[in-house]
Amino acid sequence: MSDFCIITDSGSDLTQAMAAALNISIVPLTVNFKGQSQSDSVDDGVREFYDGLRSGEAATTSAINPTGWAEKIEPILAGGQDVLVIGFSSGLSTTYQSAVIAAEELKEKYPNRKIRVVDSLCASLGQGLLVWYACKKRDAGMSLDELADWLEENKFRLCHWFTVDDLMYLKRGGRVSAATALVGTMLQIKPVLHVDNEGHLINVSKARGRKASIEALAKKLGELGLEGENSTVFISHGDCIDDARYLEAILKEKYGVKEVIIGYVGAVIGSHSGPGTLALFFLGHNR
């Protein structure tokens, strides 16, 4: 048993089964939907959530506050273990900053315990993939400080590339202009975006049609990725599993990727990206 615990948040879009297999804890963000406030999850009701978005329902989201983090971290410290927190990108949420505040307060109460908080600068299963690598390193014997330092050095190699099916969700979040969203929708222009080194969502290029945008994602792995035989790739999707499997097939057939893990974009991120979001995550030479 390791002498420290790894905690992340639901911005990682990891299932409870994956969290259990990796031996980590997940703290949920909050989504407000159909007049109800509920914990963000990719396990419960995610398909119904996307059905609701398609029918015109709106959703809002809330970050984890310092108290939410402290409630998860303190029992671990009290039990005699240290804690490594891997948080949702500070460029997209205040969740990471709240973890820092909670850690500083708890350090005063538990001066003999160690807490490291890492800003993943990642989102969705990009954050999940970074957590996956962290767990492999932990299981190989890395100490808490060694692992936190490894994460700080390597998070800039975690590539995030994605596309969306409906530009109107990005317009609502201020990612594209109203005119761009309208013209793009009319002409079936699909953006190809990524998360940059500051953890912000950046519009990089455009593809004509859905198939072309998916193929553009795969091409990014060919340009930036490590050798396919040695890579593990994560794909997340906003209730478009057929598109995710099409992307998986390209990665395996054209680029020799051996292991692909597919999961949902959770409700918090999906509120801002919409149904039909498709994202590819892999460890590359740089973002």
CATH number at residue 82: 3.40.50.10170
If asked whether residues 141 and 215 sit together in one domain, one would say no
Residue 25 has phi, psi (to 5 degrees) of -115, 150
Structure tokens at 248: 């998986």
Choosing from 155, 187, 216, the residue where a domain stops is 155
Residue 51 and residue 47: Cα distance in Å, rounded? 6
Is the entire prediction scored with pTM above 0.85?
yes
Please give the pLDDT value at position 225.
87
Please give the pLDDT value at position 202.
76
If asked whether residues 124 and 179 sit together in one domain, one would say no
If asked whether residues 240 and 168 sit together in one domain, one would say yes
If asked whether residues 28 and 141 sit together in one domain, one would say yes
If asked whether residues 127 and 195 sit together in one domain, one would say no
If asked whether residues 119 and 170 sit together in one domain, one would say no
Choosing from 111, 126, 155, the residue where a domain stops is 155
Q: What domain range includes position 94? A: 4-155
Structure tokens at 116: 């490291």
If asked whether residues 85 and 56 sit together in one domain, one would say yes
Residue 110 and residue 27: Cα distance in Å, rounded? 21
Please give the pLDDT value at position 231.
81
If asked whether residues 145 and 8 sit together in one domain, one would say yes
Of the candidates 78, 83, 117, the one whose C-alpha atom is nearest the C-alpha of residue 98 is: 117
If asked whether residues 86 and 121 sit together in one domain, one would say yes
If asked whether residues 56 and 180 sit together in one domain, one would say no
Please give the pLDDT value at position 185.
58
CA dihedral 42, 47, 50, 54 (to 10 degrees): 180
Of the candidates 164, 175, 285, the one whose C-alpha atom is nearest the C-alpha of residue 217 is: 164
Residue 29 and residue 42: Cα distance in Å, rounded? 12
If asked whether residues 172 and 267 sit together in one domain, one would say yes
- Domain CATH number, residue 237: 3.30.1180.10
Length of the chain measured in residues: 287
∠ CA 18-23-27, rounded to 5°: 75
Profile the chain (287 residues) by mean pLDDT over runs of 10 residues.
90 98 98 94 93 94 97 97 97 96 98 97 97 97 98 96 78 58 59 86 79 95 76 95 98 93 96 94 91
∠ CA 73-92-259, rounded to 5°: 80
If one counts the domains in the chain, the total is 2
Percentage helix, strand, coil, to 5, in the chain?
45, 25, 30
Residue 11 and residue 33: Cα distance in Å, rounded? 17
Burial-class residue 39 by CB neighbours within 10 Å (0-12, 13-18, 19+). middle
If asked whether residues 129 and 179 sit together in one domain, one would say no
Residue 19 and residue 104: Cα distance in Å, rounded? 25
Choosing from 155, 187, 202, the residue where a domain stops is 155
Alpha helices (H) in 110-240, listed in sequence order: 124-139, 144-154, 167-172, 178-187, 210-224
